[in-house]
Amino acid sequence: MAEKFTDSEGREDLVYVKTEDGGYRGWRVDLLIDPLSNKMEEKILLCSSCKGMLRDACVYEGDLKCGVCIPEGVAWQPVKMNREIVSDKMISCPLKKRGCEWSDTVTSAIHHLEECVFLPVLCPLGCVCLEGERKGKVMKLEKRRIQEHQRDSCPLRELVCEFCMNKVKAYEMNPHLEDCEHFTVPCPNECVIDGGERTRQVKRRDVPVHLANECLLQKLECPYWVYGCREEMERKEMDLHEREFMHIHYRLSMTDMKLKQVETSKLLQDKLDTATERIVLVENICESKSKELSELTQKQIVTNDKLDRATKKIDFLQNDFEIITKELSKVRQDQIETSKDNQLLKDKLDTANTKIVNFEKQITEKDSELKSIIEVLYSYTPLSTGHLEWKITGVKQRIENKEYTYSDPFYVGLYKCQGKIRWSDDNTGEVCVGIYIMKGGYDDKLHWPIRYKFTFILTNHINNNNNYEYTEQVTKEDLEKFPDSFKRPTQLRNDRGFGIPSLISNTEILEAKYCKEDSITLLIKIELLPAL
């Protein structure tokens, strides 16, 4: 039976004749180096059906045909002479037009194509064509160009990002650079380097820190905004503004201080009026008890008068001794009852005196509390900032245990606060730092909800000028989204805090510049902002 040839890369297409039914027949005649010279040679060497050079030639129905053109199921014997003649014919490489100069016998053509560097093959990485007849299919290139393609032009080759050193597919490099945190971008405000003409370049991830702490062209509010100065200016103009408007700032701050002192005085006056009302109430109670005591004294006088009359009756009425004795006994009984009444009134008076003493003690305590509040309010200028230098020891053990770490309480003005760190679940994860509002002694006198601006500074023990900083402030959206973080505490501290869920990774925090003797130092700065 004839041999059936198939080839996914089209090698048979290059060597044999392909007919309309998709089958491969005789050898391609156009590949011959010496073409057939006469009709007799064509009759002997060409298949009568496919007109290709005979391969496994045989006689069928009086004509010479190649073994593939004979119907299936028909027995046939090859003509050895034709096979030998065809096999010895010299042919060129089917890819001669591409530049291959190979030529040899017919039988070696297939073996040559296995090694021919001009043969189109699929891209080993599987990249696809974007246009042409093979659009959407795996790209084909000549063998000799595969290595160059994989090195220089294949969109699926791996490249190393020069900024973050991560491996990225070639076709993904441009989108990657648009999101790469280490890619340098110009300052959004186009600030320049040390007065030069070149715009400062900053890593994409450091842009917020640069704008918050370094950029001389960043718009800032005047530090005396809370006192009424509504000027906004670039950072480089801030010193000049503060010098030029120093007298205005002083006047605004003094006006604000006077207003607060007036409010404080009014509050203290209200408390003093309340205490005065309580004293008047105690005095009224004492006056009422005094009237009761006077009535009891009057009754005692009346009783004494009755005793005197009884005594006189004894002197003048000896004959009526029995009757007088009975009356005297009755008077004595009245005297005993009156004594009991006197004792009861005395007990009530002692109770009233005790209550008066207690009221006086409470008034003294409240007066002491008012004095302490006055001392606090008048011994400090209006406080609007808070500062905590938090040294955390045993950092490695805390990270391994994934435990929560709380700081000592500290005050921002009269607000009591506490810092909290949640260590990440793995070494490459981010460290979460938050600020919690605690229950304080002056909460009923403060404004709620609280609003502030905070800065976290991780101390660099090697270079103090290169600390790791992060700054953010509470916005109106934060107050609406996380109301429980800024309300007045009803217990030890609020259940929710507010800060940054990803300040720095565990790997970075354990670096020598931040971690010294298994300890780190985190500075927390808080500035109160005006209520919205």
Per-residue pLDDT at 520: 92
- Looking at residue 301, its pLDDT comes to 83
Query: Mean pLDDT for the chain?
Result: 80
CATH code where residue 57 lies: 3.30.40.10
More confident residue, 99 or 324: 99
- Ramachandran region, residue 394 (left: φ > 0; alpha: ψ -120 to 50; beta: rest): left
pLDDT exceeds cutoff 90 at 145? no
Q: Are residues 23 and 113 in the same domain?
A: yes
SS (H, E, C) 215-255: CCCCEEECCCHHHCCCCEEEHHHHHHHHHHCHHHHHHHHHH
pLDDT (0 to 100) of residue 399: 86
Residue 237 has a pLDDT of 82
Please say whether the beta carbons of 487 and 494 come within 8 A: yes
Taking 70 as the threshold, does the pLDDT of residue 95 lie above it? yes
410 and 520 in a single domain? The answer is yes
Which of 465 and 491 is assigned the larger pLDDT? 491
- Domain annotation covers residue 356: yes
What Cα–Cα distance (Å) separates residue 467 from each residue in 429, 462, 521?
Answer: 20, 9, 11
pLDDT score of 336 more than 80: no
User: Has residue 52 been placed in a domain?
Assistant: yes
Label residue 73 left, alpha or beta by phi (over 0 means left) and psi (-120 to 50 means alpha).
left
Q: In this structure, are 476 and 428 located in the same domain?
A: yes
pLDDT in tens, 392-422: 999 888 888 887 899 999 988 888 999 999 8
> Alpha carbon 190 to chain centroid distance?
27
**pLDDT confidence tier of residue 81, bands split at 50, 70 and 90:** low
352 shares its domain with 429: no
Task: Give yes or no for residue 127 having a pLDDT over 60.
Answer: yes
C-alpha closest to that of 116 among 146, 137, 90: 146
% of the chain residues with pLDDT over 90? 15
Query: Residue 523: its pLDDT value, please?
Result: 94
Residues 416 and 495 in one domain: yes
Number of folded domains that form the chain:
3
Q: pLDDT-based confidence at 433, cuts 50/70/90?
A: very high
Report the pLDDT value the prediction gives residue 13, as an integer from 0 to 100: 67
Are 287 and 347 within one domain?
yes
Question: Is 225 domain-assigned?
Answer: no
- Do 363 and 393 share a domain, yes or no? no
Structural domain range at position 62: 11-118
Q: Mark whether 22 and 73 lie in a shared domain.
A: yes
Residue 246 maps to a domain = no
Task: Clarify whether residues 367 and 270 are in a common domain.
Answer: yes
The mean pLDDT value for 39-55 works out to 73
Look up the pTM and report it: 0.36
Domain boundary residue, one of 118, 152, 171 = 118
Length of the chain: 532
Which of 379, 398, 415 finishes a domain?
Answer: 379
Identify whether 193 is part of a domain.
Answer: no
Domain boundary pick from 67, 99, 118: 118
Give the mean model confidence (pLDDT) for residues 31-37: 72
**484 within a domain of the structure (yes/no):** yes
User: In angstroms, how far apart are the furthest CA atoms of the chain?
Assistant: 196
Same domain, 399 and 284: no
Cα gap 23→72, rounded to integer Å: 13
421 shares its domain with 328: no
CATH of the domain at 451: 2.60.210.10
For the chain, the straight-line distance linking the first and the last C-alpha, in angstroms and rounded, comes to 94
Condensed to tens digits (0 to 9), the pLDDT of residues 437-462 reads 999 887 887 889 999 999 999 999 88
Question: Buried b / exposed e across 172-186, counting CB within 10 Å, b at 16+?
Answer: ebeebbeebeebeee
Looking at residues 324-329, what average pLDDT do you find? 69
Residue 314 — very low, low, confident or very high, per pLDDT cuts 50/70/90? low
Per-residue model confidence as pLDDT tens digits over 225-261? 888 888 888 888 888 888 888 888 888 888 888 888 8
- Residue-wise pLDDT for 351-396, tens only, equals 877 877 777 777 667 656 655 554 454 344 444 688 899 999 998 8
Q: How many CA atoms lie within 13 A of 75 on its CB side?
A: 0
Residue 249 lies in a domain: no
- 517 and 393 in one domain? yes
209 within a domain of the structure (yes/no): no
Residue 134 has pLDDT above 90, yes or no: no
How much is the average pLDDT of 424-436?
Answer: 79
Residue 6, pLDDT > 50, answer no
User: What are the pLDDT digits (tens) for 200-223?
Assistant: 888 888 888 888 888 878 888 888
Q: How much is the average pLDDT of 39-61?
A: 73
